[in-house]
Amino acid sequence: MKYLFLSFITWFFGFTAIHAQQESQRLVLAEEFTNASCGPCASQNPAFDALLAANATKITSIKYHTNWPGTDPMNAQNPQDAAARVTYYQVSGVPYCRMDGAVVNGSAYSGAPSNLTQAKIDAAWAVPSPYEMQLYQYIPPSNDSVYLSLLIHATDPDAGSLVAHLAVIEKHIHFNSAPGGNGEKDFYNVMKKLLPGKNGTVLPASWTAGDYVVLDYAWAFANVYNPVEVAAVAFVQNNSDKNVRQAVNSSSTPLIPVYSRDAAILRVEEVPLNACSMKLSPAVTIRNNGSQPLTSLNIRYSVNGEPAQTYAWTGNLASWEKTRITIPEFMFALADQNSLVVTAEDPNGQADEYVKNNSVTVNFPKAPTVYRKMQLSLRTDNNPQETTWEIRDETGGLLTSSGVITQANTLLTFPIQIPTGGCYTFTVFDAGGNGLCCTQGYGYYQLLDSTGALIGEGDQFGNHVTHAFRIHSAAGLEETDPVSGLEVFPNPFGDVLSLRFTKSATSGFRVRILTPAGMEVFDKTYTGMLPGTHELEISTAMLSPGVYILEAGNDHRSKIVKIRR
């Protein structure tokens, strides 16, 4: 099934006077690059750290440990994320410091942490920010992971190549013996992991006052010295000029909603990648982003602009609680390209105060029409026992399946034959929830019919992915030979395609040309064709360059040939 995940909630059409434009107090961000075997780092860090600690309400910091000039176990635990920030700022030596993305200059070399002064911190802190940010942190009693929710709220218009970064840090790491060659034993705000990755999360390029996003993250602890010291720092940065717009430290205080009545659609699931059925029953996950409990909501849905239908939901969701709603099955007119629009309206019977997170559109094409003989190519990952596949008919009946797979990192092939026409679904499952790529090896799947037409392929899909397909009405005949010595030439062809063949009896003869997806582009039947050798010329000037499927035969048997223009 197709999953549409909304990674953030954006855009706003109107807001009340209590959300009038107002710039926000800035929290300054210092990013330092250091190393446990760097002599100058050991000499500059004590005063630098003391200055940061004395201004905890004005400035926060992230320390990236490099792999040069010497040994540093904190870099060895996650070298990729540190290297990404080194490249981003083109850092060539340590210690090196940037404040709100800008190089810290002063009496020492450019970027020296010793250049940071109280006056510089005060000046940066006095610059208003166009955002206010909240960062909620939860560590379960097991002390093995951290869950984070970041709210970014524009209090003033802003625009740019904006990205949200979140760094999980360990606030204080103490070693009994120096881990590197410079004698340092205490390290502060050490970056452990960048979430969701080294490139952060792309934000909308333009914001008006009142716009906001909510981003959720989770990280399973790795190489954490003391779980009590785990925290996080998030910041918004403009990649165009590297300016940091705002920063925030994590806290155990839940997020405070921006609006009172604010229902959001987080994702729409159970919508196929493609469809040959004219039935849908999507699952819609909603969340109450408002401060008032959400007790009722209208879910309106429509496919291809047909009259919208409404599902009236009732319940009781507190702030930030969510629920999954399954829309009752409904019919729609299947087109070559289809568009499902789902909208949440009328929270608690009143107008929603923030409508930019209320609507989701999912596009899906008509399923391809293919031939009954096919082959599945499946390369497994490191955990082949987690992967299975199956094919079901339109009633849900199981036609064939893989069984248990045990060969890791191996390319396997499965011949498949569909007995009759109709609609079918091909589904690949992964019990680990991480697909076939790329956290546990590099696998993939590809299902083709006997002509090479693609039914489905992929590698990253979470728990499962489903492709629908329809079997040609002439299915089952493509492997037989209705005529002697059928020749198709030239191949590749130009404006004219020729067929030469021999018939043994008087009958009709039909020629069809289809795209690999099953769309018919030529269809002609020659009636009363006598026995003997025949040659036909077909005008193909109207066909665009590409691969096609030619089907030639009579009412009982046909021959399939792949052709190319």
Asked if 424 and 418 count as a contact pair (C-beta separation under 8 A), the reply is yes
**Quick check: 554 pLDDT over 50?**
yes
Q: Do residues 57 and 149 both lie within one domain?
A: yes
**Quick check: 440 pLDDT over 90?**
no
Q: Do residues 193 and 239 both lie within one domain?
A: yes
Cα(476)–Cα(107) distance, integer angstroms: 82
Q: Do residues 184 and 306 both lie within one domain?
A: no
Domains contained in the chain, number? 4
**Quick check: 487 pLDDT over 90?**
no
Give the CATH number, domain containing residue 340: 2.60.40.10
DSSP string for residues in 92-114: -SSSEEEETTEE--SSSSTT-GG
Q: Do residues 360 and 378 both lie within one domain?
A: no
For the segment 243-269, the average pLDDT, to the nearest whole number, is 97
pLDDT reported for residue 483: 60
How many Cβ atoms sit within 10 Å of the Cβ of residue 172?
14
1 inside domain: no
pLDDT-derived band at 477, boundaries 50, 70, 90: very low
8 inside domain: no
In the chain, what percentage of residues exceed pLDDT 90? Answer: 75
For the segment 324-353, the average pLDDT, to the nearest whole number, is 96
For the segment 6-19, the average pLDDT, to the nearest whole number, is 35
| Helix (H/G/I), strand (E/B), else coil: 192 | strand
According to the 3-state scheme, what is the secondary structure of 267-316? Answer: EEEEECCCECCCEECCEEEEEECECCCEEEEEEEEEECCCCCEEEEEEEE
310 inside domain: yes
Cα(512)–Cα(515) distance, integer angstroms: 10
pLDDT reported for residue 343: 98
First to last CA, the chain: 34
Query: What is the residue type of 318?
Result: A
User: Dmax of the chain from CA atoms?
Assistant: 100
**Quick check: 19 pLDDT over 50?**
no
Q: Do residues 399 and 454 both lie within one domain?
A: yes
477 inside domain: no
Instruction: Report the range of poorest mean pLDDT among 20-34, 79-93, 244-258, 310-324.
Output: 20-34
Residues near 362 by Cβ (< 8 Å), separated by ≥ 6? Answer: 2, 4, 268, 271, 282, 339, 340, 342
Q: Do residues 489 and 466 both lie within one domain?
A: no
Distances (CA, A) of 391 to 308, 405, 469: 32, 16, 10
pTM metric for this prediction:
0.76
476 inside domain: no
Name the residue range of residue 505's domain.
Answer: 484-564
Cα(509)–Cα(413) distance, integer angstroms: 35
Express each pLDDT in 151-173 by its tens digit.
999 999 999 999 999 999 999 99
pLDDT reported for residue 17: 32
221 inside domain: yes
Instruction: Report the range of poorest mean pLDDT among 242-246, 514-518, 534-538.
Output: 514-518
pLDDT-derived band at 558, boundaries 50, 70, 90: low
5 inside domain: no
**Quick check: 439 pLDDT over 70?**
yes
**Quick check: 383 pLDDT over 80?**
yes
pLDDT reported for residue 254: 96
Copy the structure tokens of residue 174. Answer: 């103490």
Express each pLDDT in 78-108 by its tens digit.
999 999 999 999 999 999 999 999 999 999 9
**Quick check: 433 pLDDT over 50?**
yes
Asked if 390 and 431 count as a contact pair (C-beta separation under 8 A), the reply is no
**Quick check: 518 pLDDT over 70?**
no
Asked if 15 and 354 count as a contact pair (C-beta separation under 8 A), the reply is yes
Which of 348, 365, 382 is the endpoint of a domain?
365
Asked if 469 and 542 count as a contact pair (C-beta separation under 8 A), the reply is no
Instruction: Report the range of poorest mean pLDDT among 55-59, 73-77, 296-300, 492-496.
Output: 492-496
Q: Do residues 155 and 244 both lie within one domain?
A: yes
What is the residue-averaged pLDDT of the chain? Answer: 90
Distances (CA, A) of 99 to 59, 117, 161, 377, 412: 9, 11, 19, 52, 53
**Quick check: 286 pLDDT over 70?**
yes
Q: Do residues 71 and 168 both lie within one domain?
A: yes
258 inside domain: no
